[in-house]
Chain A
């Protein structure tokens, strides 16, 4: 079953910050350059897809288009068969697609952590008992059980980010979109959150869209979509995508550590294949050489 589909989607921001389509806004400013140009892709239910791209390549814009926070200028976006243009379907769409945004400070709503996490489920009409259970569960998922009654504004950067993730988990969306949601976490925290995400994906069949600047994280996905200047330029399995080292480098990206080491050795004439993704795989190959 198809969860999300982009058909030839094009989008421009209006320089006024207005969210209406550019053709409806007549101002001195006019629309800005295209943030997204002619993008098409399809994400199946239960898939784990990563999106890579340089700063400003259009990743967050794609995320916001996915649940109707922005509307395409051209092309269509369908979420479980519903077009984001049908306004009466927006509520259903947003219930299904939960997005954790980049900056957690913009997402804190209530002053107490518990209320902050309960806000989403309340909004979609979940019963109080069930909300309480979900808040417990979401806090456990992100390792913040001890902070239920804490004040949201008195947390460190990484703690706020965990709460933001819990807030979206509590909605139990069918599609979870993480827009660089682990950028402020320490390495162990990032691993924990990714483990939670992976298990939600594998055990509960939650569809995951992971936007990240960490190549190692992207290599966990089933599939990677690469954006450059608003266009989709590559799509494939991590192994396929990360075999394009030179191209990725030319568009500001990189490859996982293991692939990079193998590639440098290969360039020096060492007979080693560069299509490795994990450090363990690289280790095996080096053992064969030494």
Chain B
């Protein structure tokens, strides 16, 4: 399932003194199987852009096609779209509300299937069983123990657990595209690593396409195959991590922060110690340095 964005512009509060152009002629293709990263400064338009992907807001100009369908068109099946494109917002745990983890995770699924009331009336037992199966699947997928956690109050969980429950409430719909707005913000180092591992697992087994907004460059560079840079409502470029972080001029011009590993290797290059590719985290950096030490016959 792909997302194609053409000439998308968006204005908040049009025709008022508060009018604010948040997106300006955006063109973008997210392909099936991408782990697509979006970076850009605070207020550059990242959240506004992704909210178009499941029609939470509609373009002022241009269009967005998800799997060929334009959600802004009359008669578009928004329910179908929203079950295909799962959206995990910034700090999603603030939106947990139900009394139990089970009810929270089940909410979207129940809502979606309430429409098919005829079927429900005919067979409430099956509906119940199906809900249970889906909720069990979602909770297990995010790495939590279903039996242990299903009856707990979401408010009694740790930050990392809450975040997982919120993600479960989205993947319960079995989306084909999962969009996450800063999914690791506010988590401790272990929680961050766990959520990223989870995303790769989900991608392999569930939703083949993942779109992730993040301010954490180590995370973006280490996990995404493509990165879009947004600045003041415009797409500056879409590149692979190696291409993006090797482009010194672009990085300087646009004030893009680089992963710490890249910064180290640029310092080394200035000293005449160069490598044919860039590392994006401590493990990769140490690996490359160790190889080099070995090649030069030093200490190994």
Contacts and interface: CB of A to CB of B under 8 A. Distances in A.
A95 B94 CA distance: 29
B215 interface: yes
B49 to A, nearest CB: 12
B293 interface: yes
B293 A154 contact: no
Interface stretch (B24-32, B62-70, B138-146, B263-271): B263-271
A257 B261 contact: yes
Given A56-B159, A102-B186, A154-B13, A189 B283 contact: no
B171 to A, nearest CB: 21
A216 B91 CA distance: 22
State which size class the interface on B falls in: 35 or more
Contacts of B215: 184-187, 190
A282 B192 CA distance: 24
Contacts of A287: 268, 271, 273
Interface stretch (B40-48, B123-131, B196-204): B40-48
A149 to B, nearest CB: 10
Nearest to B299: A270
A186 B42 contact: yes
A290 B282 contact: no
A90 to B, nearest CB: 27
A83 B270 CA distance: 55
A204 B138 CA distance: 52
Interface residues of A, number: 49
A270 B293 contact: yes
Given A159-B42, A185-B215, A254 B159 contact: no
Contacts of B94: 103, 105
Interface stretch (A42-50, A65-73, A132-140, A258-266): A258-266
A257 B280 CA distance: 11
Contacts of B186: 55, 102, 180, 183, 213
B41 A265 contact: no
A252 B47 contact: no
A82 interface: no
A-B pairs, 4 with minimum CB distance: A158-B42, A55-B159, A187-B257, A264-B286
10 contacts: A55-B187, A159-B43, A183-B185, A184-B90, A252-B188, A252-B191, A261-B282, A270-B293, A270-B300, A287-B268
Interface of A: 53-56, 102-103, 105, 151, 154-159, 162, 180, 183-190, 213, 215-216, 249, 252-254, 257-258, 260-261, 264-265, 268-271, 279-280, 282-283, 286-287, 289-290
Given A268-B286, A287-B268, 13 more contacts: A154-B20, A157-B47, A184-B215, A186-B40, A187-B257, A252-B190, A264-B282, A264-B283, A264-B286, A268-B290, A279-B267, A286-B264, A290-B296
